Amino acid sequence: MKFPVLAHAAAVCFVALSAPLALAQVAATPEAKAWHALSDKKDLAGAEKLCSGWEKSGTHAQQVEAEKCLANVELARGRQASVKGSGVDAASVGPGFSPQAIDKALAHLNRGLALAPADISLHKGRLFVLGLSGRDAALTAALDDTLTKLPSPDYLPDWLRYTAQIGASGDAKEALKLLAVLDKHFPDSHEVIGNIGTMYNIQGLWSQGLPYTKRAAELAPKDTIDTWNLGWAYMHLGEIKLADEWMQKSIALPGDDQGSERRCLYAHFVGRDLKQKPRACAMERRSCAVPDRYDCSAPTIPHKK
């Protein structure tokens, strides 16, 4: 079963390295379409030739696209497996790059940002590369620089998705450092504060996460995620009455995509912690798939010899 602590904007998908690096950008301009097409074909030599020409003598738009393109070329050439996460999650293997490829790609991305400091795809590309390279201090500084140049709250969901991905990959401690940067730039954001609590909670540090989880629910008492997380935290801290109160508040709020899952988890709580098996079974029949109806399981009949 999924870990039932939820993060705001948790769904995220990074591109494969054979695809263009511009993580959030559709190839809408002629320049972008040209190098994306070559990258999709894995024609690195062709992409490098095209984009090097733009870098030297192209228009401003071509020069910006050239830096994205050449960063992608360097990464594709320097691709290698890397171990992500820490502790028990350190065995997960994902895409990585040689240090030389990282250095060259970052140089291109930083040149691109000097030309177009408000280009969000360049900012996301830089964060993507630093995140996979394990350069934590540089990653935190880069996020701070990005938020200084792109202060609009319209971009906050993008940064929340990014920090949630870092935490989900097994590095909740690094996610907390990045969320501290977000908290500096977006004070009193219930999404940021709630996700700080979540990153403590997924490490099992429920007492440390509780002040953040409570504050998030205070700021957004009608948010299904924040109210649920507070109830779930209280359950882990043995505060069953408060857990019941906040879980019920969450599942009574207007729906979201995870409403059915939360109602099923609440049914399990009713059976396990409130010891109300008949009520739990009735709720499980409404909200849980058959394999998850723990309180409706028929007793085992002893085999007769």
Residue 293: per-residue pLDDT: 86
Of residues 5 and 120, the one with the higher pLDDT is 120
pTM: 0.81
Q: What is the dihedral of CA 185, 190, 191, 193, to 10 degrees?
A: 70
pLDDT tens for residues 262-278?
999 999 999 999 999 99
Taken in order 279, 202, 93, 105, is the CA torsion positive or negative? positive
Segment 189-215 mean pLDDT: 96
Question: How far from 156 is each of 6, 152, 153, 282, CA to CA, in Å?
Answer: 17, 8, 5, 40
Given a cut of 90, whether residue 248 has pLDDT beyond it is yes
Given a cut of 60, whether residue 106 has pLDDT beyond it is yes
Q: In which band, very low, low, confident or very high, does the pLDDT at 168 lie, cut at 50, 70 and 90?
A: confident
Given a cut of 80, whether residue 206 has pLDDT beyond it is yes
Residue 118 burial by Cβ neighbours in a 10 Å radius (0-12, 13-18, 19+): exposed
pLDDT tens for residues 221-242?
999 999 999 999 999 999 999 9
> Which among 2, 6, 40 is positioned nearest to 21, based on CA atoms?
40
Residue identified by tokens 């709630």 is: 194
Segment 278-283 mean pLDDT: 94
Q: In which band, very low, low, confident or very high, does the pLDDT at 290 lie, cut at 50, 70 and 90?
A: confident
Of residues 204 and 131, the one with the higher pLDDT is 204
Q: Output the average pLDDT for the chain.
A: 85
pLDDT tens for residues 4-31?
566 666 543 333 333 444 433 555 788 8
As a whole number of angstroms, the distance between CA 236 and CA 233 comes to 5
Count the Cβ atoms, other than its own, within 10 Å of residue 244.
Answer: 18
Three-state DSSP class for 134? coil
Given a cut of 50, whether residue 89 has pLDDT beyond it is no
| DSSP per-residue codes, 74-131 | HHHHTEEEEEESSGGGTTEEEEEE-HHHHHHHHHHHHHHHHH-TT-HHHHHHHHHHHH
As a whole number of angstroms, the distance between CA 210 and CA 206 comes to 6
Q: In which band, very low, low, confident or very high, does the pLDDT at 116 lie, cut at 50, 70 and 90?
A: very high
Segment 101-108 mean pLDDT: 95
273 DSSP assignment: T
Token pair for residue 283? 């709720």
Q: In which band, very low, low, confident or very high, does the pLDDT at 91 lie, cut at 50, 70 and 90?
A: very low
